[in-house]
Chain A
């Protein structure tokens, strides 16, 4: 058997977390270095994975398959293909960077880093699990640490935000559990294996597929989040500490989108065709509604949170088109959004630790005082609003291009969202960086080396994908083509 890359990537953080439980509370330095080491090791492993990944293959790679509960056919089955490899890399990267970003946590560090690493394990596992029960277990493991991370280290309304997040996601995912069971009992022989179920896709009756689709939809839509299940998101994002907001926006939202890619669409293709138009319309609502609400936010972090709602709409739209271009765009959009919005939340955090406010009207003129910060903020804002040459443009454009071939009207209205997005990001830049300097901020220091260390890698990726999209697309193209072929979508 070859080296179990995926098991190591998934469980290294947990091992580190258990180690932290046995370190003395006072030795914060040791705790931090353990956490950093394991997340760095996971990142390095995922880079090795990336280099050894065969882009032309559409089947699973680095597979690990062991029986877990033989009597009900549950197995410990991991693997990556073009759809998940990018998200695995995104998760390990953000876990590592947010871990460094977590150095500023100054209370109860031992518990923080333990929960943080448990969260990492859950997130990474979700993207590589190929057994529905394993997928569900790892998916649910994410909830508990997230509850504590928001509830203990969050802002003023942290308790409300934490329990709202917990109940919302639990309510969604518990229906997913019923969907999983329905899959099991309708397949012959009974199986939880995503790959096995994928082979017989479309053999269930349409009505049954629709029911299962809805059950899974409830689980995934809460996570994405799709309107009208998005109301937990602004609360959770705003109250969470900076590194956790980064992971929420950067990784957790992708779990929902990934679920659509891995389970809903390929395993229930007839239902997917049936729901394509409503799916696209929900994407449209996300794009336009999210953008309009973001525009109205006086709170910097809340604005970025709603911009996430808007950007995730492109994932829905691109996927619903079921074209090669649209789905490529949707998948890339998930990766790009993770990088860009992750960066945006870091940037908000940088400002917040200095000014202790997120009120956009309380800033102004920072371009003079913090030139480096301003430059980075401008790059990320422009990437987020979809400026050509930066990564956000590529994926949004591809999503729209793909969906235009199928849903003309919906796509045309969606473009409106891009205009509004440009509006609120530029307005934000104007209020924060330009104008007269706010007197309270006279002595504000520029970005520190540690913060730069976190942001520079993200910025490099933003620019790299912007000018050479194939760097990211090459990993996913073959798999997406096979995916579209399997669900019988348009070849465009």
Chain B
């Protein structure tokens, strides 16, 4: 397909960019968080209306730099949904002053463009560029509370870790280019399929690429940045970082490994098993001792990535289905949890778990919602999080990864303890700190949306499964 024809497939990206510039310019005149937020929301709605319809066959765009398949469409839909919720959360987040609000939404929309490009890239170079764009925007967003030392510290750590790991990834890509003479994934996968690859060499290459993606998905041992960044960043940004780049990271991981390097499966499966086990276990165990809820959710999100990785390790169609559903459920419940954290921190000016004591008395609705999100993260049926675990564990059992399944279920018991701890503070203790209730309509809309999502995806799961089944790679169809 030539360039002109390709353009209509990137209409969503173009719309977002146009709106981003409009927001930036108009922020010179309008410094209102909500007005600009509505602008950003309409950008997202318009972009989702222009999403290309799903295709049975892949469409190569821009000299095969990008592709437009049903897999990328799934992740584009999720990315737009995530940003939409994050915009609503930002509108209700008090710490975010109106001084640089235009720049904030500008960056957020550009981050979304990067996400949309990353999930549809079919070329290692394009993958690197879009991920790097996403990373740079994330660093800036984390540092957005520039007078807050934690925010700056988090951003610096994020930047140093990011620079190192993407550097390694870029080196890996350069080696791949040296070996194959191209960075086009579809050409590479043809060579791989002939089985001419040396096992050790391929393993080294894949580990290098994994460094960059593991950083995005916060897999152990590339997870060290997460707690400080999650804690320091403005909470709305934390919500974004905990789900957006993670979903993108998994999408790229699946595209490179499962779709294109699948013949090398035997080389990376044992390594990935170990990473998955460590990610789950370390995330969960350290989460137990956290006293700040954002830090706790950071470790919890590391652990959640470990569960998702089970579906990836299994490498089967049902594993893929599990991972896609898990990402969907995880986006819903994690955004919800952070939304509640924002609501509470607006009212008590604190993120300490201790200060959640007796929340049920002051704000029964928020404590109920936060409990639902935490229970969903813990995997209590019939909420969405349960089915995520159910699907990845069943994929593991089906492909006889019994050890992985057992470690997974044991971990979810450990996880239940620290999720319940927050609930314990909210319902079983008496209030200690002053609570000045702050209302925010956008926040409530966002929370109601994800809350409904958690219940609907839990109780009426069939349509979601069908949607996911239609979004898998051709490899598994």
Q: Knowing A70-B462, A71-B469, A152-B428 are in contact, say whether A178-B381 is a contact too (CB < 8 A).
A: no
A284 CA / B317 CA spacing, docked (Å): 47
Which of A148, A170, A171, A181 contacts B394, CB < 8 Å?
Answer: A181
B424–A159 touching, CB < 8 Å: yes
Within 8 A of A (CB), among B372-406: 375, 380-382, 386, 390, 393-394, 397-398, 405-406
A133 CA / B394 CA spacing, docked (Å): 12
Which of A69, A148, A182 contacts B461, CB < 8 Å?
Answer: A69
Q: How far, in Å, is B372 (CB) from chain A's closest CB?
A: 10
A290 CA / B434 CA spacing, docked (Å): 48
A181–B428 touching, CB < 8 Å: no
Cβ contacts under 8 Å, B427 to chain A: 148, 151-152
Cβ contacts under 8 Å, B393 to chain A: 177-178, 181
| Secondary structure of the A contact surface, majority rule | helix
| Interface range for B | 20 to 34
* 12 A–B contacts from the bound complex (CB under 8 Å): A162-B428, A163-B417, A167-B417, A171-B410, A174-B409, A174-B413, A175-B409, A177-B393, A177-B409, A178-B397, A181-B405, A184-B394
| Secondary structure of the B contact surface, majority rule | helix
Cβ contacts under 8 Å, A133 to chain B: 390
Which of B417, B424, B462 contacts A151, CB < 8 Å?
Answer: B424
Q: Determine whether B465 belongs to the interface, using a CB cutoff of 8 Å to chain A.
A: yes
Q: Determine whether B285 belongs to the interface, using a CB cutoff of 8 Å to chain A.
A: no
B381–A137 touching, CB < 8 Å: yes
Q: Identify the closest chain B residue to A159 (Cβ).
A: B428
A362 CA / B409 CA spacing, docked (Å): 46
Cβ contacts under 8 Å, A174 to chain B: 409-410, 412-413
Chain A: interface residue total (CB-CB under 8 A)? 33
A175 CA / B411 CA spacing, docked (Å): 12
Q: Determine whether B466 belongs to the interface, using a CB cutoff of 8 Å to chain A.
A: yes
Within 8 A of A (CB), among B406-464: 406, 409-410, 412-413, 416-417, 420, 424, 427-428, 461-462
B420–A140 touching, CB < 8 Å: no
Q: Identify the closest chain B residue to A148 (Cβ).
A: B427
Q: Identify the closest chain A residue to B466 (Cβ).
A: A71
Q: Identify the closest chain B residue to A172 (Cβ).
A: B413
Q: Determine whether A337 belongs to the interface, using a CB cutoff of 8 Å to chain B.
A: no
Name the residue among B398, B416, B461 with the largest chain A CB count within 10 angstroms.
Answer: B416
User: 1/0 contact trace for A51-78 toward B, CB 8 Å?
Assistant: 0000000000000000011111000000
B380–A144 touching, CB < 8 Å: yes
Cβ contacts under 8 Å, B413 to chain A: 167, 170-171, 174
Q: How far, in Å, is B420 (CB) from chain A's closest CB?
A: 6
Within 8 A of B (CB), among A146-161: 147-148, 151-152, 158-159
A144 CA / B380 CA spacing, docked (Å): 8
Cβ contacts under 8 Å, B382 to chain A: 137, 141
A71–B420 touching, CB < 8 Å: no
Q: How far, in Å, is A73 (CB) from chain B's closest CB?
A: 12
Which of A71, A137, A181 contacts B462, CB < 8 Å?
Answer: A71
